[in-house]
């Protein structure tokens, strides 16, 4: 092969993705650097998956156009440390292609040198023994051989051999790799990509390649072996965002970010910056980046939780996932090993990730002071696919239980994502509830599994609980439900004038409805208990109490209920933005589950 044009480059990228995805689980298992969170394979696969989807309909013959397409998609969808480095590698390639429709081996050597420079320049602290070392070896080999060789296949074979030697030497360059007896996962992934191109070169068909890629994405199997190296993490959140602006001074931005974390990568183009950083303060990172342009595609993955997932693979078969409307505290999430996909919250142009970049205390402060009423949005299907792909590399099955489908599109987003990933292993359930009711349902499912129950047993538990619960919402004010458009303003004025409040409940299908009229405050409490007794008698197993920034009142309510139902188990949590936007400060909500 004497040249590469757009069509051949397109096939090469898809072939590289194909090979990497087929080794995704292995890459996750050997992932120990920079943190052992078991997601390098998933992140690289997700980055390449987005590129392949974009390339399926691409019929441009010029390598200039196709390489630009690859660069843009990689930057927009890059995930994790290695994913962002890959994006910068592809950007460097595209920059050197210029307006060329095809390139020779010498011209491609210049493009690889450019890709190497851009990959290194993105790193605040480049480390040898990683994917960067393998990229350097590829660049050096290609430059040396292209001076005397014009056949792509011959040079690629030697590149793979030299890169494999560099990969094998990575434990000698990074102590953490030697300690875990593995090579660097990102570097191994890059070598797999080169192997995929060589395997396909000259003998494959594009349609077959795309079909093979789809099957791999849809039917990957998790393995049982895992690296359990799990130190205390200095920084908890793998934080990423895109910034639209111009003339970024990456060096200055990098220095400013150093006070907030490490593993800093600043990739991108003159008008688009992709940031990756490990930090304990994602909100502070996003706030800082607003100075440089419009911040979007915010993401903050909990590496502590991911690392625990990797370490516990041999202990548990089934992972349990909820959305953040479950309003479970860190204590409950840690104790029951429940995974959370967060909803998004926006006050005008300011975007937040529920409970990661916006805690409940700050949310209620903004709710009181902001002239803009907040909007909440469900997690995207991509948020779910990222979570599912990571978990399936460490667990055999997933139960994903979510806020009522009659109140949010979250359930449907989860269902769509499960269909894309592996529907036979992901079980998406409508809780017909919200708030702590959803949280307790998830907790009970975990308890069933921990007691030796099967996946079917846990699902039956969820279905039974969703049918045998009673939820009431006790408003302190109607100001916010009127502002949010959920209650007519005239009706709100009349109810407020007569000092009465609607008593809101969830019906059997998870819809919100009115259960009566009550006086605000403690006068409403006996009404709730009377309704519970009418429905369930004295047969309660679990009772949950939620409050909107008023823990003292919630504690009084719990004492009041405990006197009437002393044998129930009690849970307490704060009401988050999902309900809190409309309920407002001071609201209480209660849920009881019957035997």
Q: Is residue 74 part of a domain?
A: yes
Instruction: Answer yes or no: is 450 within a domain.
Output: no
Q: With respect to residue 15, please indicate whether it lies within any of the assigned structural domains.
A: yes
- Asked whether residue 423 is domain-assigned, the answer is no
Nearest CA to 531 among 504, 571, 569?
A: 504
Residues 361, 367: Cα–Cα separation, whole Å? 10
Does 263 reside within a domain? Answer: no
| CATH number, residue 527 | 3.30.1180.10
> In this structure, what CATH number is given to the domain that contains residue 100?
1.25.40.340
pLDDT in tens, the chain (595 residues): 899 999 899 999 999 999 999 999 899 889 988 888 778 998 899 899 889 988 876 666 799 999 999 999 999 888 888 889 999 999 999 999 989 999 999 999 999 999 999 999 888 889 999 999 999 999 999 999 999 999 999 999 999 999 999 999 999 999 999 999 999 999 999 999 999 999 888 665 555 555 555 555 544 433 333 334 344 578 899 999 999 999 899 889 999 999 999 999 998 888 899 999 999 999 999 999 999 999 998 999 888 877 666 555 444 689 999 999 999 999 999 999 999 999 999 999 888 999 999 999 999 999 999 999 999 999 987 889 889 988 998 899 999 999 999 999 999 999 989 998 899 999 999 999 999 999 999 999 999 999 999 999 999 999 999 999 999 999 999 999 999 888 889 998 999 999 999 999 999 999 999 999 999 899 999 999 999 998 888 888 999 999 999 999 999 999 999 999 999 999 999 999 999 999 999 999 999 998 7
pTM of the model: 0.71
Q: Which domain holds residue 555?
A: 469-594
Which residues does residue 582 pair with via DSSP β-bridges, in sequence order?
Answer: none
Query: Does any domain span residue 229?
Result: no
Q: Which of 175, 202, 218 is the last residue of a domain?
A: 218
Counting the structural domains of the chain, the total is: 2
Q: Measured between alpha carbons, how far is 191 from 129 in angstroms, rounded to an integer? A: 13
Instruction: Write b or e for each residue in 542-572: b if 16 or more Cβ atoms lie within 10 A of its Cβ, otherwise e.
Output: bbbbbbbbbeebbeebbeebeeebeebeebb
Cβ proximity of 214 and 165 under 8 Å: no
Closest CA to 577 of 480, 462, 467: 480
Q: Is residue 247 part of a domain?
A: no
| Cα distance between residue 312 and residue 40, in whole Å | 18
Q: Which of 218, 244, 260 is the last residue of a domain?
A: 218
> Looking at the domain assignment, is residue 389 inside a domain?
no
Last residue of a domain, one of 179, 194, 218: 218
Cα 198 from Cα 153, distance rounded (Å): 7
């Amino acid at each position: 092969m004497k040249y590469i044009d757009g069509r051949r480059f397109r096939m090469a990228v898809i072939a590289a993705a194909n090979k990497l995805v087929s080794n995704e689980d292995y890459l996750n298992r050997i992932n120990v650097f920079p943190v052992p969170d078991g997601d390098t394979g998933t992140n690289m696969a997700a980055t390449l998956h987005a590129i392949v989807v974009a390339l399926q309909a691409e019929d441009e013959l010029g390598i200039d156009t196709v390489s630009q397409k690859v660069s843009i998609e990689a930057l927009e969808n890059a995930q994790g440390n290695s994913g962002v480095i890959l994006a910068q590698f592809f950007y460097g390639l595209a920059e050197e292609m210029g307006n060329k429709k095809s390139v020779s081996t010498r011209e491609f050597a210049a493009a690889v040198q450019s890709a190497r420079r851009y990959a290194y320049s993105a790193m605040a602290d480049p480390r040898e023994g990683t994917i960067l070392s393998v990229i350097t070896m590829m660049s050096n080999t290609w430059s040396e051989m292209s001076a005397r060789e014009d056949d792509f296949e011959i040079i690629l074979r030697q590149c793979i051999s030299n890169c494999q030697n560099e990969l094998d030497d990575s434990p000698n360059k990074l102590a953490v790799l030697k300690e875990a007896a593995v090579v660097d996962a990102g570097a191994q992934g890059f070598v797999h990509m080169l192997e995929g191109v060589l395997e396909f070169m000259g003998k494959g068909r594009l349609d077959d390649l795309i079909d093979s890629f789809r099957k791999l994405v849809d039917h990957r199997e998790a393995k049982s072996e895992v690296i359990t190296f799990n130190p205390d993490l200095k920084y908890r959140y793998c934080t990423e965002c895109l910034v639209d602006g111009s003339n970024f001074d990456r060096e200055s931005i990098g220095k400013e970010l150093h006070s907030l974390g490490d593993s800093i990568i600043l990739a991108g183009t003159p008008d688009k910056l992709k940031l990756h950083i490990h930090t304990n303060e994602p909100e502070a990172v996003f706030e800082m980046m607003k100075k440089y342009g419009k911040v979007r595609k915010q993401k903050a993955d909990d590496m502590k939780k991911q690392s625990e997932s990797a370490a516990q693979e041999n202990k548990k078969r089934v992972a349990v996932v909820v959305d953040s409307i479950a309003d479970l505290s860190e204590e409950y999430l840690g104790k029951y090993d429940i995974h959370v996909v967060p909803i998004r919250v926006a006050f005008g142009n300011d975007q937040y990730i529920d409970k990661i970049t916006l805690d409940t205390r700050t949310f209620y402060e903004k709710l009181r002071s902001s002239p803009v009423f907040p909007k909440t949005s469900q997690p995207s299907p991509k948020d779910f696919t990222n979570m599912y792909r990571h978990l399936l590399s460490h667990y055999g099955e997933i139960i994903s239980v979510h806020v009522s489908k009659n109140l949010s599109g979250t359930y449907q987003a989860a269902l769509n994502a499960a269909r894309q990933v592996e529907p036979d292993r992901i079980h998406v359930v409508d809780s017909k509830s919200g708030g702590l009711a959803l949280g307790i349902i998830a907790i009970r499912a975990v308890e069933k599994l921990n007691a030796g129950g099967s996946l079917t047993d846990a699902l039956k538990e969820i279905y039974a609980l969703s049918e045998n619960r009673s939820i009431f919402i006790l408003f302190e004010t109607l100001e916010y439900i009127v502002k949010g458009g959920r209650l007519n303003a005239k009706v709100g004025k009349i109810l407020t004038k007569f000092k009465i409040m609607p008593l809101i409940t969830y019906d059997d299908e998870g819809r919100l409805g009115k259960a009566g009229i009550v006086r605000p405050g403690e006068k409403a409490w006996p009404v709730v208990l009377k309704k519970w007794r009418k429905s369930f008698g004295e047969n309660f197993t679990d009772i949950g109490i939620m409050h909107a920034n008023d823990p003292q009142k919630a504690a009084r309510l719990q004492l009041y209920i405990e006197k009437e139902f002393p044998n129930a188990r009690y849970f307490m949590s704060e009401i988050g933005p999902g309900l809190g936007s409309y309920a407002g400060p001071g609201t209480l909500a209660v849920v009881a589950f019957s035997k």
